[in-house]
Amino acid sequence: MRVPITPGAALVELSSRLAMTCCALLVLVFSSISCSALSLPGRAENPLVGRWREIAWVDCESGEEMPPDDPIRELRFQADGTVTVTWHPIETYVDYQGDYQLSDAGAIEIAINWSAYAPADFDGTGTVQLDEAGDLLLGDLWLGSPRQARGLDGCGHRFERVE
């Protein structure tokens, strides 16, 4: 014996089937995403991604690390290959922005493509490494002198991770 379906019951049946179909699609979609795809973008593949603060610069003549009088307070590497450098962050202000490229051999090249302040002594080609403490070391590379202290004769930087 067939039970007649009323318009209200048909709507409930349709809603139920639609909900089950949507759930099945979500399970299918999310089961195909790996856990690594849900992690912080770019950090696993590129340990430079994040925000850094300068803790020392390398003097070209002596090769010694010196505490900066006016440190770079924000060096930000993005997973998309962009980098920003800021001495005195205020809201969204950055001194300059550029693109960076890394090589497997530990080389880095930074090119400025926009600036509010581009240091005249900028040299964007050098080496990059992370030491055992997690500090970022940029060697034979100079992100530039701050506005107030131009021409520091620097040949490298040491940064600690902020985030």
Q: Are residues 17 and 94 in the same domain?
A: no
How many separate domains does the chain show?
Answer: 2
Stronger pLDDT, 36 or 133, i.e. the higher one: 133
Say if residue 26 is in the same domain as residue 55: no
Residues 69 and 124 in one domain: yes
The model's confidence at residue 40, banded by pLDDT at 50, 70 and 90, is very low
Residue-wise DSSP of 69-88: SS---EEEE-TTSEEEEESS
Residue 40 lies in a domain: no
**Contact by Cβ (8 Å): 136, 159:** yes
Do 55 and 128 fall within a single domain?
yes
- For residue 145 the two structure tokens come to 């002198």
Domain that holds residue 153: 50-161
Residue 44 lies in a domain: no
Higher pLDDT, 34 or 59: 59
d(CA 158, CA 102): 17
pTM of the model: 0.72
- To the nearest whole percent, how much of the chain has pLDDT over 70? 71
Please check whether residues 15 and 61 belong to one and the same domain. Answer: no
In a domain, 42, yes or no: no
Domain assignment present for 79: yes
